[in-house]
Amino acid sequence: MKKIKIFLLATIVLLAGCEDFLDINRSPNDATEPDIDKLLPGIMYDIGDDFSIGYAKLGYACAVYSHQMVTRQPEYDDYNINGYSYAVDTYWEDLYAGPAEDLKLLIRMGETEIDGEPGNLIYAGIGKILKAYLFSMMVDLWADIPYTEANTEGITKPVFDDGEQIYAALFTLIDEGIANIQNTDAENIRVPGDDDLIYGGDTEQWVRLANTLKLKMYNQVRLVSMYSQGAVDQLLADPDNNLIGPGDDFMLPFGTSVAPENRHPAFVSEYGGSQISNYISPWFFEILSGYNANIHTGITDPRIPYYWCNQLAGGDPENPPEYKDGDFNTIMFGSVGPNRDHAGRSSFTMMGIYPCGGTFDDGVQVGPLGSLDGTGAAPQRFITYADRLYIEAEMMQVGRVAGDARAKLEEAIYASFEQVDMVVDMVGPNQDVPVLAGSGMDTAYVTAVLAEYDAGDAEKKLEIVLTQKWISQWGNSMDQYTDYRRTGYPVRFDANSNGGSQYQGPDGTAPIPTQETRAFPLSFPYDKDEVILNNNCTQKIVSQSPVFWDE
Amino acid sequence: MKKIGSLIVCLVFVGFNVIFAQDIQISGNITSADDGIALPGVSVVVKGTSTGTATDINGDYSLTVPPDATLVFSSVGMRTQEVQVAGQTVIDVILETEVLGLEEVVVTAIGISRAERSLGYSVASISSDETLQKSEPDLLKSLEGKIPGVDIRSTSGAPGVASRITIRGNSSFLGDNQPLFVVDGIPYSNDQYNTTDQSAGGGAYGSSISTLDPNDIASVSVLKGAAAAALYGSRAKNGVVVVTTKSKNIAPSRKGLEVTVSSSVNWENIANLPEYQNTYGNGVDFLYANANGSWGPRFDARDSIETWPLMLEAFPELGDSVPWVPDPDNVEGLFKTGMVYENAVNITGGDEKSGFNLTASTLNNDGYVPHSSFDRYGLSLGGTTMLSNKFRAGGTFSYTTSKQQGGIFGNNQADDDNAASSFARALWLGRAWDYSLGYTHPVTGEPLQHNGRGQFDNPLWSWEHNKVITNMDRIVGSANLSYNLTDWLNASYQIGINTFIQRRQQVIDRLSRGYQGLGAIIDDDVWQQEIESNFLLTFSRQLGSGIDFKAILGHNVNQRTTDQQAVRGIEIVSPGIYDIDNTNSVIPFGGAYERRRIIGAFADVTVGYKNYLYLNLTGRNDWSSTLPVDKRSYFYPAASLSFLFSELLELDNNIISLGKVRVSWGKVGMDADPYSTSTTFISKATEFTGDKSVYKYAAFPFLGQAAMTTPDEGNDPELNPEFKTEFEVGTDLGFINNRIGIDFTYYSNKSTDMIYSVSVPASSGFRSQWTNVGEMTNKGVEIGLDLTPVKMANGFTWNIFGTFTQNVNEVVDVFEGEPEEGEVERTILYGLFGDPSIVAQVGQPYGVFLGEVDVRDDEGNLLINPGTGLLIEQRENQIYGDPNPDFKLGVINTFSFRGLSIRALVDYTQGGDVLCNSIVLLLGRGVTKDTEDREHSFVIPGYYGDPNTEEPLLDANGNKIPNITQVSMNDLYFGESFAINSAGEWNVYDATVVRLREIAVGYELPRKLLGKTPFGSISISLTGRNLWYFAPNIPEYTNFDPEVNGYGSDNTQGIEYSIAPSVKRYGVNLKFTF
């Protein structure tokens, strides 16, 4: 029996000594608290990546609906966007679970008091401005969305807020952000530097951006009651000090590294990819080529070789083409022709150096263009100096702001040309790319457009302002989709009547049959998983669900 | 050989022989009642002692025993007999074959053996003969159709690929729902480590149970219920597969040395090539184009086509045009005849007190897909001995090393252009594509495709260049010590260390479509270790008249550690050198470190009354490291009752030979995954991993800046343990001398408080949140039927063994509390890219498909888009598929006559859905005979609808307008219709299938012929696997085998994304002993 006792005793000892033994439930490889400067670059990158025109991203879908790009993916073509379209399904979730959640943490960490004094408020202020930009863009895209209860601990099924109320809250948030940045009482032990990928920690640039963002938002609501003339007048009292100027562009730069992948997402998907996904819209092509009977007729845009790059250089495409004009080769929106789905990695026209850091078209490239035919270091533009000028021109044109709309338009178009040169400079191309500004081509173009402007009535003038903005923004397509829904400009391609296209199809054959069987979406559908999981979310009929400013 | 072996054994173990002087010498001969042939290897033991011997080749034995002893004669598969010596010196015995193993001993828990009669729950046992070298190198696949209640699913025809096994359905949202594997008392991991998503260009990954050498297996017991599993602790929740190896299961009473050699060779082929049409070539709408689809002109409609540009570039001698002819065998020509070679040597030896076993085996499987293979080498050693101080000591050691090599599978569209599936086009090659021209560009070395660069890699090039190479090593060592403190109290201890190492290299070669042609190498290494310690005190006493009492007190400590680290190198520098050092830049590719510990204390009490009534009570308390401190301790009990009314009533063996009723109830508790109770932040350098983020590039460090992000998964510091309770009732019946045997079980189990990271709307800031949720039930019936319709005096026997398995699963509740009005409670288990989501939804079975459907009117008629004549996808998702089968049926017919036996296993699966990308592409590309009759137009039955509002369009009188818009067959399968570009609902097919799973013809040479040879026995068999199947609801000419599944052993079932089709094998197996 003694032996038995020893065994029992041993068992009890084993059982008793186990408390420390079990205290191992903390991962040794994961951090429990991030540094504030490690949050900012991730937020900026995610917004830029998700808004870009990389394949199936949010900007991609918007570029299709603003008719700068064509896709043959049935979940976007023919206005058939659904809650399960990849762009919606993925980036709704990415934005809320990514930058929106990280911004909440960044603002909270920035506002945390240090020794009883206000904390790192510059970070908090930048966070609020970025949050206002992010949510204003999400309202523009989805109309009513979760805001007040979104990203809130303890709430797993946030309610959906009215877009107008969100906008009102965002105007306040921007003001708070400016106040945070300018708060001289703040400890600001940590201040942003290189981790601020956009402005390198320059607080004055952030304040100018914050004001420009407000101006952009006021312009977007100019047809509804929320519009505040007083606020706009205040912003425009000293525009060159209050608003972003040359060198203040709000944009995310990209780099050239392959691993980690620092290149522009659209460059990676197109130049690095094995299939073409971003086809240049014939509508865009025809307007820039002067083929469109309604606008810029006979005016060839000198930015064309910067905007897209043909791969044919006089050769034949791999397959019977759908839409071909010389070396330009693409497919049509809403096409039901037999040649829409053919492979053409080596022969379709690709996005050029300006939208994604690809190839400048000097007429000699032969496809397939690949990842060595460009650097991919084009920035993702959000709000640029040129954009600011177009906003001012629009407001002058419609009489919201006093001033010479024509002169502002002229200024804006010149800024757009300089913007192309600026992007080329950032891309650092491995080929010779001529400078546009001051080349004479810019002046000739501006003169021709202004002549058309002068000849038009007020409506035509507004159309020209917005069409020029649309051309300038190529690659930053989310605002274009908003501008069309707000103003009806630029006039979009109508696949049911072939939109007044002058083009009769390749080699003079009959026009390519196109159709749109669905109505234009007035906002994007909700993410299918949000519908599945959040009973506050009902899927909408997108052709009947406008954003509040679109009434 | 035998003498040498005996000599070695004697030299080693000579010290332990003790012979008592007063004993008498007994000898005799043992023969089989079936055929009168002498039985070698029969165990002869003096009852109540460990003294014993075994019969030799001629069935003879001799033994020195006390004159009043009782001898017990036993042998596997034979009915045990007891004979009292009573002064006899010659005892000859005729042993009868055991039909339904009532007297069999099954290993239940932690090396605890039990007579099957005492078990109040269902246990299935499989002998090694059932699994070994039946043209099937995969242990799990060899069990298919043989055990009621067990569902085994193959993955694909790739060598070494994982199979999935579930017992009595899925019982948890979390984990892989597979049973715990315990080999000789040591848990074996069966984890499947995926390097890249299998739907998006992953490999045919194996699971780690493939490191278990089937050649060393003595027997497999499957414990199906919670009551049976309580003693194994949490992980036994999904059942336990208890494997006893030959190295552990050593019968010390065997004398001498026996060597068994088995050897087999098998041939394997692709089981299911579609039947192709060879009337139309590549193109669209009967017009030629260098396109993927074969919707182009008839082959008799033109003479030639322009030479495919890339082919012309590679082979200028082709000239500008090539004849317009089909290449009927272009798909078949991609594949080859594979081989499986399996060899094993098993050596057992010992004496009355000691024994040892050595098993060495090799397996070489060369797949039907070129450059795919699986090789495994195993060495197992075990020994046990009774020390002079009455300690019994033993130990086992096994080492297995395997290497799996195969291609990349999945869907090219599903990834960020880094996918390079070798099956992207392989089965639906354009009918005009001449694949004899060559697949490598003679100058650049790039893969050649007829329709240009980049869409897909030529499969032949891909198999040669793009590879997943996985090396798995497993080293298991265990030691055990046992001591009889008194004659009714035994103490035993076993400790085992199980180390699993997996090293994988995944290569996308330069010039492939993936990784922009730069090439990439992923190194993915896993180290996994499990330490299991068990201390048992066993009381065993007779109490009064007819009452047997047995109690076990146990203490268990378990520690599991997993350390995985992967890196990805992009741009292969020197061609042909596949080493991470030979890449231009290396970035992290994810990894995880996890360590968890459990301490358990348990008790198991069995009371038996007069051999016909048994009550078993068990209880266990676990302390787990993965739960919050105040919740880490949890207790779970079980009880079972077994009643043998045939024994009580002493029924006539010729009428009712066995009657047993059993009933049991059990509860099992389960802990969480490590680290799910606290929040941690993630470096964005590895953020690309995860199901929903396939388009995210690994962008950080970005412009030199590192970044962190909040996790997508919220944690719960208040997690409770999860529980599963199960009730089962069953009966085992035998009639007419066990010529008819029935084993019936009904069970009902319920999982509650399931620990799961439930999907939450992203607007909450998270995609999922750890919590205790829900309730899920499984109810089912398992029937085993053992019939011997014919048993003739001349030895001819016909036996039918049938299994029936039905499980009905229901998700009863997902979230705590009542749902809000209109709320459907569900969580997403797995989100495939696009469609569908695999969900758990209240009122539905686990794992149903929720996804895209087309719009219908209120009468169920399809609404047709008037602009296209095709369908309209609905805004709201709906459930459109359920991968769970209605029931499964397996029937084994065995005919035996003397040494000859013929055995065939046919199994049948009713229902269950499979979402099949391969069928979609076969139809959508117009390559099979299904779409050959195409020279007319079609009208999809339905009414016109408004694609914006999803409402029917009405005419002036308010009536619906029938569709009359004609579409081509090309549109039917390529537009918004029924195949490519369709709503997901049309990609789902009913997976009902009947299959000739296994057929074997065996012949054992009569022992008389072997009398003068050194051989003890020689048997030869011919086997075939998967030689025929029929799936009535699969499009006829696609010949698709609905059993394949793209996700290996994962919970995501019923999804197929362009994987390697299943395989059929036939071969010759030889086994001899000496």
Confidence check: pLDDT of B695 > 90: no
Q: What is the pLDDT of residues A100-130, one digit of tens each?
A: 999 999 999 999 999 999 999 999 999 999 9
Ordered by where they begin, the domains of chain A are 9-200 (1.25.40.390), 265-487 (1.20.120.840)
Q: Which of the residue ranges A164-178, B157-171, B345-359 would you say has the lowest mean pLDDT?
A: B157-171
Identify the DSSP state of B866.
Answer: T
Q: What is the pLDDT of residues B888-900, one digit of tens each?
A: 999 999 999 988 9
> Quick one: which of A355, A367, A357 has its CA closest to A312?
A367
Q: Which of B719, B764, B816 to mutate to test the interface with A (most CBs of A within 10 A)?
A: B764
* Mean per-residue pLDDT, B306-327: 94
Q: Which of A82, A89, A320 sits opposite B289 (nearest CB)?
A: A320
Find all residues with CB under 8 Å of B775, minimum gap 6, and list them.
B750, B751, B752, B754, B811, B812, B813
In sequence order, the β-bridge partners of residue B603 are B553, B619
* Mean per-residue pLDDT, B782-791: 92
Q: Which of the residue ranges A387-391, A443-447, B834-838 would you say has the lowest mean pLDDT?
A: B834-838
Chain B touched by A341 (CB under 8 Å): yes
Confidence check: pLDDT of B755 > 80: yes
Interior angle at CA B69, CA B67 and CA B71, nearest 5 = 125
Q: Do A22 and B513 touch (CB under 8 A)?
A: no
Chain B touched by A225 (CB under 8 Å): no
* Mean per-residue pLDDT, A404-416: 98
pLDDT in the model for residue B113: 62
Q: Which of B292, B571, B702 sits opposite A41 (nearest CB)?
A: B702
pLDDT in the model for residue B19: 36
Chain B touched by A228 (CB under 8 Å): no
| Confidence tier at B21 by pLDDT (50, 70, 90) | very low
* Mean per-residue pLDDT, B703-725: 92
The dihedral region occupied by A77, where left means phi > 0, alpha psi between -120 and 50, and beta the remainder, is: beta
- List A residues 170-199 in contact with B (Cβ-Cβ < 8 A): 194-195, 197
B281 to chain A, closest Cα gap in Å: 15
pLDDT in the model for residue B845: 94
Confidence check: pLDDT of B854 > 80: yes
> Quick one: which of B186, B336, B218 has its CA closest to B273?
B336
pLDDT in the model for residue B1048: 64
Distances (CA, A) of B731 to B118, B121, B660, B988: 13, 9, 5, 39
Q: In what order do the strands lie in the sheet with B240-245?
A: B123-127, B217-223, B240-245, B180-183, B186-188
pLDDT in the model for residue B375: 96
| Confidence tier at B381 by pLDDT (50, 70, 90) | very high
* Mean per-residue pLDDT, B712-724: 91
Other beta carbons within 10 angstroms of residue B35's beta carbon come to 14
> Quick one: which of B744, B818, B805 has its CA closest to B778?
B805
- At residue A286, what are phi and psi to the nearest 5 degrees? -70, -40
Task: Compute the distance between CA of residue A499 and CA of residue A490 in angstroms, rounded to an integer.
Answer: 12
Confidence check: pLDDT of B208 > 60: yes
* Mean per-residue pLDDT, B788-799: 90
Selected residue with higher pLDDT from B106 and B659: B659
Q: What percent of chain B has pLDDT over 70?
A: 90
* Mean per-residue pLDDT, A417-429: 98
Q: What is the pLDDT of residues B812-833, one digit of tens each?
A: 998 877 777 778 888 888 877 6
Selected residue with higher pLDDT from A195 and B815: A195
| Omega of the bond leading into A302 within 30 degrees of 0 (cis) | no
Q: Which residue of B has its CA nearest to A18?
A: B599
Confidence check: pLDDT of B691 > 50: no
Q: Do A151 and B763 touch (CB under 8 A)?
A: yes
Q: What is the pLDDT of residues B295-311, one digit of tens each?
A: 999 999 999 999 998 89
All residues of chain A having their beta carbon less than 8 Å from the beta carbon of residue B677 are: 25
Selected residue with higher pLDDT from B657 and B37: B657
Task: Compute the distance between CA of residue A539 and CA of residue A148 in angstroms, rounded to an integer.
Answer: 20
| pTM for the full predicted model | 0.89
How many residues does the structure list for chain A?
Answer: 551
pLDDT in the model for residue B12: 32
All residues of chain B having their beta carbon less than 8 Å from the beta carbon of residue A533 are: 759-761, 826-828
Q: What is the pLDDT of residues B520-577, one digit of tens each?
A: 999 999 999 999 999 999 898 888 778 889 898 999 999 999 999 999 999 999 999 9
Question: Is the Cβ–Cβ distance between A242 and A383 less than 8 Å?
Answer: no
Selected residue with higher pLDDT from B606 and B10: B606
Task: Compute the distance between CA of residue A74 and CA of residue B835 in angstroms, rounded to an integer.
Answer: 14
> Quick one: which of A29, A534, A528 has its CA closest to B758?
A534
Q: Do B761 and A156 touch (CB under 8 A)?
A: yes
Q: What is the pLDDT of residues B955-964, one digit of tens each?
A: 999 999 999 9
Among A137-141, A330-334, B135-139, B236-240, the range with the most confident prediction by mean pLDDT is A137-141
Confidence check: pLDDT of A307 > 90: yes
Mean pLDDT (chain B, rounded): 86
pLDDT in the model for residue B7: 35
* Mean per-residue pLDDT, B792-806: 91
All residues of chain A having their beta carbon less than 8 Å from the beta carbon of residue B834 are: 84, 86, 89
The dihedral region occupied by B687, where left means phi > 0, alpha psi between -120 and 50, and beta the remainder, is: alpha
* Mean per-residue pLDDT, A177-188: 97
Task: Compute the distance between CA of residue B977 and CA of residue B940 in angstroms, rounded to an integer.
Answer: 9
pLDDT in the model for residue B452: 79
pLDDT in the model for residue B106: 54
pLDDT in the model for residue B690: 40
Question: Is the Cβ–Cβ distance between B700 and B682 less than 8 Å?
Answer: no
Confidence check: pLDDT of B696 > 60: no
All residues of chain B having their beta carbon less than 8 Å from the beta carbon of residue A259 are: 568-571, 584-587, 698
pLDDT in the model for residue B110: 53
Question: Is the Cβ–Cβ distance between B842 and B813 less than 8 Å?
Answer: yes
Q: Do A272 and B852 touch (CB under 8 A)?
A: no
pLDDT in the model for residue B22: 62
Q: What is the pLDDT of residues A355-366, one digit of tens each?
A: 999 999 999 888
Task: Compute the distance between CA of residue B563 and CA of residue B501 in angstroms, rounded to an integer.
Answer: 10
Question: Is the Cβ–Cβ distance between A72 and A331 less than 8 Å?
Answer: yes
Q: Do B698 and A101 touch (CB under 8 A)?
A: no
> Quick one: which of A446, A425, A104, A124 has its CA closest to A253?
A425
pLDDT in the model for residue B689: 41
Q: Which residue of A has its CA nearest to B295?
A: A338
* Mean per-residue pLDDT, A139-161: 96
Complex confidence, ipTM = 0.93
pLDDT in the model for residue B188: 87
All residues of chain B having their beta carbon less than 8 Å from the beta carbon of residue A35 are: 708
Confidence check: pLDDT of B1049 > 50: yes
pLDDT in the model for residue B131: 59
| Confidence tier at B15 by pLDDT (50, 70, 90) | very low
| Confidence tier at A193 by pLDDT (50, 70, 90) | very high
pLDDT in the model for residue B132: 60
Q: Which of A97, A102, A254 sits opposite B762 (nearest CB)?
A: A97
For chains A and B, count residue pairs whose Cβ atoms are closer than 8 Å: 336
Q: What is the pLDDT of residues A83-97, one digit of tens each?
A: 988 899 889 999 999
* Mean per-residue pLDDT, B282-290: 92
Mean pLDDT (chain A, rounded): 92
> Quick one: which of B1022, B1018, B1021, B898 has its CA closest to B259?
B1018
Record the tokens describing residue B946, joined without a space.
Answer: 């408004």
* Mean per-residue pLDDT, A395-402: 96
Q: Give the SS3 label for residue B92.
A: coil
